Amino acid sequence: MVAKVRIREELLDYLLELARNAHPNEFMGFLRAKNGVVEEVLIAPDIRPGPTSVFFNTWMLPLDDSIVGTVHSHPAPIPDPSPQDLWFFSKFGGVHLIVFYPYSRENVWAYNSEGSRIEIELVP
């Protein structure tokens, strides 16, 4: 089970910017890692964002072994995963970030696939 996620600082700041730009709607993406560090976000095509959910067609997602999890935003100051989030977490990797309003570094929480909170380590 994953106990910590290592993520590039620059990517975390980019995810915060994506959340701010999508507000008041949610955004979502897939996290890519190299050598144990999350370095990129893949924004899936054909995403339909809304204020309480994001829909995308999983058939549009490429086969990609570097995907280690997901990221999405909550336009409200609620960091806890919903039942739908937990279902989604169980399908795509072991690391999941929720970026929540007001979108500062303190407003990014990480979870494992079971929905337990895990530590975030920033990598320069």
Residue 27: how many other CB atoms lie within 10 Å? 21
**Domain assignment of residue 21, yes or no:** yes
**Domain assignment of residue 105, yes or no:** yes
Q: Are 49 and 9 in contact (CB under 8 A)?
A: no
* DSSP letter, residue 107: G
Confidence of residue 98 (pLDDT cuts 50, 70, 90): very high
**Domain assignment of residue 91, yes or no:** yes
Structure tokens at 94: 């072991």
Q: Are 71 and 97 in contact (CB under 8 A)?
A: yes
**Domain assignment of residue 51, yes or no:** no
Split into its structural domains, the chain has a count of: 1
- Residue 45 in this model has a pLDDT that exceeds 80: no
Q: Is the peptide bond before 51 cis (omega within 30 degrees of 0)?
A: no
Tens digit of each residue's pLDDT (9 = 90 or more) over 47-86 = 555 455 555 566 566 677 889 999 999 999 999 999 989 9
- Residue 44 in this model has a pLDDT that exceeds 80: no
**Domain assignment of residue 24, yes or no:** yes
CATH number of the domain encompassing residue 27: 3.40.140.10
Task: Tell me how far apart the alpha carbons of residues 12 and 22 are, in angstroms, rounded to a whole number.
Answer: 15
**Domain assignment of residue 75, yes or no:** yes
Residue numbers of the domain that contains 12: 4-46+63-119
Q: Is the peptide bond before 102 cis (omega within 30 degrees of 0)?
A: yes
